[in-house]
Amino acid sequence: MTKPYVFITRKLPEDVVAPLLAIAEVEMWPHEDMAVPRDVLVEKAKRATAILPMVSDPIDEDVLSAGSALRVVANMGVGYDNIDVAAATHRGILVCNTPDVLTDTTADLTFALLLATARRLVEAAMFLKEGKWKSWSPFLLAGADVHHKTIGIVGMGNIGQAVAKRAKGFDMNILYYNRSRRPEAEEKLGAVYRPFADLLAESDFVVCLTPLTSETRHLFNREAFRQMKKSAIFINAARGAVADEQALYEALVGGEIAAAGLDVFEHEPVAADHPLVSLPNVVALPHIGSATYETRRAMMTLARDNIIAVLEGRPPLTPVNRIS
């Protein structure tokens, strides 16, 4: 009997993949840091029963329709805006993600990005490494306090609530905006719901953690940035396309907001000469929100286990869609 064929779009550790080998033929794109070319992905999909993609791999109609055997796409990431879920559902293909295992790690990075931006840590480190430190002065590389300030969290899911827990430790005033109220966050964390415009106007730090959907695309537009304080700092650790990058650039250059910390961009990867990356009041990171050894291995393992479950005729552990 022919084993099902599984295609993995990056090279993963052998011990992670080993349990799959007992029940499937597995092929991995042989590079850890190079995206699989689109034509290769479509070609592999023609015979695949399962695909394990990264969050940057577009799994669209062309990929989903390439072959008739595809049963499951197990994304290595909590976000799945790279997958056409509606098209997958129509074709009877399960889509899975890796929630929960990266919540605290991503919250750590988000708050670290907030601190680094507020206190100008990257700029200060480069100042020293470039030999510019000649003397001490009262306002040398002075940044902004974080403690006792107001943080406005847009997207109060698991990661948003984990960031709020960290903000509570800094004695911050916690505001949030979400599609639906979060009574548990209000009770346990003292978070206060605000309409979007009010949150923007009141917050010293505006932290974007909302998923990318048709409703949230460019949620942070020209009008949104104009509603913020001139001293406000914008942090985006969700998806790049939630913010209009041109509007953000103009807000930063025009002094409408003070600074930005970005772990995500609309089109990734970005070059060093990207307009936002080149600004001195921007701390830019290469989408490393979940990038610890422990968490990335947990994500790989969960994606793998979702595939094993489906191939063995069991329900997936963390499905995004339902197939009737």
pLDDT attached to residue 205 = 99
- For the annotated catalytic residues, the residue numbers are 239, 268, 287
**pLDDT tens string 221-274:** 999 999 999 999 999 999 999 999 999 999 999 999 999 999 999 999 999 999
> To 10 degrees, what angle do helices 121-129 and 103-118 make?
60
Mean pLDDT of the region 170-186: 97
Where exactly are the structural domains of the chain?
Answer: 5-100+293-311, 103-284
- Rg of the Cα atoms in the chain: 21
Residues 6+ apart with CB under 8 A from 183: none
Average pLDDT, the chain: 97
Is pLDDT of 9 > 90? Answer: yes
Q: How far is CA 70 from CA 20, 64, 154, in A?
A: 16, 7, 36
- Intrachain domains 5-100+293-311 and 103-284 with the same fold: yes
Give the whole-number percent of the chain exceeding pLDDT 70. 100
Mean pLDDT of the region 1-22: 95
Is pLDDT of 1 > 80? Answer: no
Band the pLDDT of 277: cuts 50, 70, 90: very high
pLDDT attached to residue 117 = 98
d(CA 146, CA 175): 15
CATH class of 5-100+293-311: alpha beta
Mean pLDDT of the region 1-13: 94
Q: 103-284 is classed in which CATH architecture? A: 3-Layer(aba) Sandwich (3.40)
Cβ burial of 94 (10 Å; 0-12, 13-18, 19+) is buried
Band the pLDDT of 32: cuts 50, 70, 90: confident
**pLDDT tens string 282-301:** 999 999 999 999 999 999 99
Is pLDDT of 324 > 90? Answer: no
> To 10 degrees, what angle do helices 103-118 and 158-169 make?
50
pLDDT attached to residue 67 = 85
E strands, the chain, in order: 5-8, 25-28, 50-52, 72-74, 94-96, 150-154, 173-177, 192-193, 205-208, 233-236, 259-262, 282-284
Is pLDDT of 47 > 90? Answer: yes
